[in-house]
Structure 1
Amino acid sequence: MRFSFLRKAAITAILVALFDRLFTFGFSGAVIGGFATAWLVGMVLGRTDVRRDRRAWCALALAGVFAAALVDDPGPLNWTLFWCALSVAALMPRTGSFDDAWHWAVRLVLHAAAGIVTLIADLSRSLRARRDVRHSPGVVAATLALPLIGGGLFVALFAAANPVIARALAAIRLPSILQMLVWTLAAICLWPSLRPHPLATRLAARLPDPEPILPGTSLPSVLIALALFNGIFAVQNALDIMVLWSGGFLPAGMTQTEYVHRGAYPLIVTVLIAGVMALAMLRPGSASEHHPWARRMVVLWVVQNLILVASSAWRTIDYIDTEMMTGLRLAALVWMALVGLGLVLICWRILSGHSARWLINRNALAAFLVLAVCSFIDLGAIAATWNVRHQSPHRVDLCYLAGLGDAALLPLIHLEHQTMDAAMRDRIRYVRTQTYADLSARQESWTHWTARGERRLVRATAMLGPDPTRPSPLPNGAWRNCNGSVGGASAPAARP
């Protein structure tokens, strides 16, 4: 289309101006979701090929879902999923079909990396296409010299004669270098969605299927390795069963908490390495692919890896019971479930003869569904609620709850109403008061307002009533620590 480039350039300029207007004071609040929606609409208006592609509309619908999640509660996960869905929609018309998640991951990485190259190359190509004798720099300068010089002279004379014009000119502020840099970075991020660089699709199409290959995977080597690996893993699983599941004795000087915490994450790394090695040992076309004993020992090894995943999850759950729940530990349990599912899929792939593409797509779909669900829930709020319900008030880590921000507000209100001494209640009351005040201040600013924050504020206000009890005043020279305890002076008499 003749004016396609100009239309896309105009859409980019509008989006950059909107970005500058919305995020003058920082990148936060539900306005992130509003900008994401504007970006989505701009791409649909600027890309005819996207509007005509039914597969692209599926990705656009997903991008709209994650834009709504950004309005509700913006975060890095929601933004990443939105950008991925939007980029898939931008690249879909230039690919034959959705081949596999591996190639699409490479396309997205190249699409992101080629942003600055795309903008510069398109600007250079546009200038070369429009360059002729009538539009040479010399001709353009000669044409604009008289109107610019004459107009500037008259404006200066009128400014000297008219104070209104003088004040209007004095109020004009040219953008700073930092502001122009922000505009440039925004344009670099926005432009590729309207004009994707062909490098993203061409290079990814040349990549082979990701079949892992290990040196020395002859049939005797594979059989010996599998026998050895199964023996080593059997020892580890037996020890875990004795200590974790049967309450066996620990080595001298080691506590149950230390044993549990020490092995949770290294075992998951071990399982991931073992899964890749299992795929490499029985890759299609290898001598061991159809060997009955190799297949049996690989299946046994995968089962032992599943026991390791179960032990890692058990360790994490025990550590949560001993210490406390955190958002990261909850995310770790979800990750362990995904690893376990991946092992089951690896075993099924080996037994049924499916391709690596089948395996990658199933794992990617499972990971996407989990991440999509997590984008609409608050792991911090779940962790705070669990701690309040399963721990006594004196065991709850108030510093951690204070660090969660408004995610811990409702659990703090519930905690405040539990049975405890007056000093502990005063500490909880202080953390709750600070959290409530911070949330109220953010919700009053349109640049920081979020839908989830508004729901929490309304519910918290209803639970606290019109005149919530405030923490006890502090004597001169005293201060509050993150857990509400008083430092620097004797604690005041707490209100009941």
Structure 2
Amino acid sequence: MSAPSAELTAASSARRATRWLNLRLALASGLVLLADILFYGHGLGISLAYFLGVLAIASLWANPIRASGRRRALALLVLGAGLLAIAEDVSLLSALVAILCTAAFAVILRQQQQARWQELFRQARLMLLAGAGRLMRDLARVGRLAARRPRQSSGSAWLISWIVPLVLVGVFTTLFASANPLVEIWLNRIDLRLLLDLASPWRAAFWLMMLCLVWPMLHVRLARKRKAKASPATPVTVTGPDRHGLFGDTAILRSLVLFNALFAVQTLLDIAYLWGGVALPDGMSYAAYAHRGAYPLVVTALLAAVFVMLAMRPAGASERHRLVRPLVLVWVGQNIMLMVSSLLRLDLYVEAYSLTWLRLVAFVWMLLVALGLVLIIVQIVRRKSVNWLVTANATALALALYAFCFVNTPAVIANYNFRHSQELRGTGSRLDAAYLRSLGPQVIPAFDRYTPRIAAVGPTVVGSIWAGSQYMPGSRVSMVDRHRWQQADWRAWGFRAWRLSRYLANTPTAPLGGTSSPAPAGQ
């Protein structure tokens, strides 16, 4: 290839790369501006769904689509599911789910062949973490291509060419302001504080962070699978399994026998004390007994699951000893019984000391662990692969997390604590007013439902702060005002908050004769 032809090719490649970069930088700048309008100094709500939707459309325009028709439909379904979660209510969990679904949408459309879910999750995770690194690599790549082409007009020359026009515009504007009072008035109306706010370092840091977050979506590059390094061929000596090693067949068989015996003791104790109602030793309540074992037993079940996977690995002890498989099944069954006992323990503890957010999460976690143990039994009985077990557990976890995005946790906790309170039932724990208020305005319907009953029976509870007829309306007022202040900005809108607003519009008056806004002074 001749020198002029090579120069033309280099110049053409550099122009295409520069055009590619400029278009995406302009698109990224628009997304950063949109993020500034939606997020900076404002609460999160439907604004996050709007932004992720626009980001998905921008990614669709900026990246070639290689997926088939069915994969495109799957990508839209994944994106819609993520946006629906944050449209219901924005929380840390729903935001993470929506962001991950948006990244998965971009990855699915970029993939030419169908990949396993593990690979899809890996690609989405790597893309979200690429950020500044991918932006810097793209800038450097375009810079190297631009350096190869024949120099015609550099970037510095382009900037220098703007100096004289801008300086002269400033001079003429100053002269016009001194000659024309109207121009001077217009210049005086410029809000310098707004300009200073736009130039604040915190805002600049926010812009830079958003640029790094959106850039990988505008340049989706799938990470390559790591290939194992080829090692020189060496003669391999095939030896039989070490039956007497640390994790040999003998050790696994003996461990299963001992584990079954030990777990049987714990199971019998739970049957006697938790299920059978046998009296506990002096000084120990059922709540204390339940609390002592609720969480350690979950860890026990998780360790048991790891050991089961070790014992049932391919070409492992289960294929050489006929006793291993039935012992494993019995042991997993005992672990399921322990998880059921853990659920009962936690239920007894919550009944004695009320429900909190962490205890509600613990319930869900225990159910997932119990389901995982059941899936282990299914895998053993039906001789499924380890990949099937991992996929089934991951599916259960993903569905549980996604469903939890739609659970009104404050309302669930408030309703349970009201129904099981000492003020209403005469037994159990007293209502924790400070904790209930800390859950936010979503507890208002529960307040309205139960405060008339509390007012009726409150005086019978010695020292109850809920007996006064003015206490609960006052708490409702502060929560209603807080909700209205949050919803004054359209960006914070969500379906859950909208339903509460509809409820407050239909129920403007607090129970016991209170009002939803502070009464005027002197009344």
TM-score, normalised via structure 1 length: 0.84
The one-letter code sitting in structure 2 at the alignment partner of 1:420 is V
- How far 1:416 sits from its partner (Å)? 1.6
- Residue 56 of structure 1: how far off its partner (Å): 4.6
- The question of whether the paired residues in 2 share the 8 Å contact of 1:283 and 1:289 is answered with no
Contact 1:288/1:294 (<8 A) preserved: yes
2:402 to 359, 366, 372: 372
Distance 1:235 1:130, change over 3 A: same
The offset of 1:111, in angstroms, is: 2.5
What residue in structure 2 maps to residue 285 of structure 1?
315
What displacement does 1:144 show? 4.1
Residue 68 of structure 1 and its aligned partner are, at CA, apart by 2.7
Contact 1:44 1:51 in 2 (8 A): no
Which position in structure 2 is the counterpart of 1:298? Answer: 328
Percent of aligned positions that are identical = 29
Q: For 1:192 and 1:347, locate their aligned partners in 2 and report how far apart those are by CA, in whole Å.
A: 42
Deviations 1:370-429 (A, max 9, x none): 222211221221121222233353633222211111121100001122123473443222
**Could you state the TM-score of these two structures normalised by the residue count of structure 2?**
0.80
Question: 1:239 is matched with which residue: 269, 275, 282?
Answer: 269
Once the two structures are overlaid, the 10-residue window that deviates more, 88-97 or 263-272, is 88-97
Unaligned stretches of 5+ in structure 2? 1-15, 230-244, 425-429, 460-466
Contact conserved, 2:252 with 2:317, CA < 8 A, in 1? Answer: no
Counterpart of 1:398 in structure 2: which amino acid? A
* Partner SS, residue 376 of structure 1: coil
Higher mean alpha-carbon deviation, 189-198 vs 261-270, is at: 189-198
Partner of 1:17: 33
> Counterpart of 1:415?
450
Residue number in structure 1 paired with 2:130? 114
Q: Which has the larger radius of gyration?
A: 2
State the match for 1:176 in structure 2. 200
SS class of match (2:315) = coil
**How far, CA to CA, are the matches of 2:512 and 2:23 in structure 1?**
55
1:16, CA displacement in angstroms?
0.9
What per-residue deviation string (whole Å, max 9, x for no partner) do you get for residues 236-292 of structure 1? 111111111111232443221111112111111111111011101221122433531
Distance 1:182 1:223, change over 3 A: same
Aligned to 2:12: none
Q: For the structure 1 residues 142 and 81, does the alpha-carbon distance in structure 2 shift closer, same or farther, using more than 3 Å as the test?
A: closer
| 1:186–1:142 CA distance, 2 compared to 1 (3 A) | closer
Give the direction of change, closer, same or farther, for the CA distance of 1:56–1:129 in structure 2 (3 Å limit).
farther
Which of 113, 134, 152 is equivalent to 1:134?
152
Distance 1:244 1:9, change over 3 A: same
Q: Does the residue aligned with 1:292 lie in a helix, a strand or coil?
A: coil
Match of 2:440 among 377, 381, 405: 405
Q: Which moved more, 1:187-196 or 1:64-73?
A: 64-73
Q: Which has the higher mean CA deviation after the structures are superposed, 247-256 or 360-369?
A: 247-256
Q: Residue type matched to 1:85 in 2?
A: C
Question: 2:399 and 2:130 mapped to 1: Cα distance?
Answer: 28
Q: Which residue of 2 aligns with 1:453?
A: 497
1:53 deviates by 6.0
After superposition, the CA RMSD in angstroms is 2.9
What amino acid maps onto 1:401 in structure 2?
Answer: L
Q: Which amino acid aligns with 2:26?
A: A
Residue 114 of structure 2 is matched in structure 1 by 97
Q: Do the aligned partners of residues 262 and 13 (structure 1) sit closer, same or farther apart at CA in structure 2, a change above 3 Å counting?
A: same
Where does residue 463 of structure 1 map in the other structure?
507
State the Cα distance separating 1:148 from its structure 2 match. 4.3
Q: Does 1:388 align with 2:418?
A: yes
User: Is residue 44 of structure 2 the alignment partner of residue 44 of structure 1?
Assistant: no
Structure 1 residues 252 and 50: CA distance shift in structure 2, 3 A: farther
Q: Is the partner of 2:493 in helix, strand or coil?
A: coil
How many angstroms apart in 2 are the aligned matches of 1:217 and 1:53?
49
Is the alpha carbon distance of 1:44 and 1:196 closer, same or farther for their aligned partners in structure 2, counting shifts above 3 Å? closer
Q: Are the aligned partners of 1:385 and 1:411 in contact in 2 as well (CA < 8 Å)?
A: yes
Structure 1 residue 198: Cα displacement: 3.9
Give the 3 Å change call, closer, same or farther, for CA 425–25 of structure 1 in structure 2: same
How far did residue 352 of structure 1 move? 2.7
